[in-house]
Structure 1
């Protein structure tokens, strides 16, 4: 099970990581139940604002994102999305589904040949959002069954979701126990998606000229 702790502790860990890894870019998806005004305070207190990618720069209606190298050179290396629509205008915290389509999580999201959107998300093939998040994990976490799930079925779902998301490869892949697989696993799925996103190849390894 997860250990509950104050958000500031987690944010400070992220701050430490960004400080130590000057070419890393991190995205945080917040399931937001906080009272108005509290998140900006915690982001400020944690020292994360110096890495903040501002909502004003986020592409509206499916436009192109800046290149990673430009985000890195401008030190805007932290993307934060939250689940409360009103806070984008009032607190500058981007509303996830203005920018991201997200597939159904849990068992319903693991049906072969299907890639339905989760209830809150726009349709997977909606082009008004330029980022795609694919979920692929069972409703109840299973440390043994996950090895099989994170292998061939994960790469297969990657291709299914590509076809059903308007021919877009996922920018984010969410799995349980990402270190576990029967070979390849989440790192391979990431290499496949990145290869297609970067150079149209089946693996990022083939992009290196």
Structure 2
């Protein structure tokens, strides 16, 4: 299957008004400060543009925790970064839980950048998809790491809401702890994906968010993604089992 040769990557970014521009930042009491700011958003977005330019079969999804209030602030920074030529238009996004286009079609149309915002009004004003119109998400942080339990975060529709076609599973601590991430990203993560599959009306996650994704006691987050891709693509426990079988008779 050619879909196996096409990649898809996702980033979760926090965007703020800061220093007269859009910055990536963690907030303190809802505000970006010098000691919490990461850098201008355009620097990271230009890296994404360079990646898409040099990897023409790749798809990137950006999920924004969005605090930008400047009118058209996000549109401007995405335009300045040269990303609009890859933009997947919100008008083409499936409503009411319908299927998304095939990866190959998205690649052929060069609509390889999906962007979601947490601000509802920006879908109409800037053409940026409102996350909760298309996606459900489980609770993040320590509460979301309780074995056998998978509940939606308060902003999200219920996990079993089939009118939203995408599922995001969080599995990371409130305070990142590198020493514990090996255990977190291994069997415990796989178990949570199965738990959330049941909570989401037997739907496997399209996205999984973890801390220190390279750390594990085995396959880790890479094995988790292989599991999800295998389940989504061909119902197998590993994407590498999704091969075309030929009958030569």
Instruction: Using structure 2 for the length normalisation, give the TM-score.
Output: 0.82
CA distance in 2, matches of 1:37, 1:3: 21
Name 1:70's counterpart in structure 2: 105
Q: Secondary structure at the match of 1:141?
A: coil
Q: In structure 2, how many angstroms separate the alpha carbons of the residues matched to 1:41 and 1:64?
A: 30
Structure showing greater radius of gyration is 2
Once the two structures are superposed, the pairs formed by residues 55-66 of structure 1 within 5 Å of their partners are: 55-66=90-101
How many residue pairs get matched?
209
- Is 1:53–2:88 an aligned residue pair? yes
Shift of residue 193, structure 1, vs aligned partner: 0.6
Distance 2:40 2:149 in 1: 37
- 2:57 matched to 1:32? no
In structure 2, the partner of 1:176 is 211
Residue 105 (structure 1) shift: 0.5
More helix by share: 1
Structure 1 segments of 4+ aligned residues over 3 angstroms from their partners: none
- Tell me, yes or no, if structure 1 residue 119 matches structure 2 residue 157: no
Report the CA distance between 1:61 and its aligned residue.
1.1
Q: For 1:85, which of 120, 137, 160 is the aligned residue?
A: 120
Q: What whole-Å deviation, never above 9, does each CA across 1:68-123 have from its counterpart, x for those lacking one?
A: 11101110000000000011011101000000001110001001111111110000
TM-score (norm 1): 0.98
Q: Return 5+ residue gaps in structure 2 as ranges.
A: 1-25, 27-35, 245-249
Gaps of 5+ in 1: none
Measured on the aligned residues, the alpha-carbon RMSD in Å equals 1.1
Relative to its length, the structure with more strand (as a share) is 2
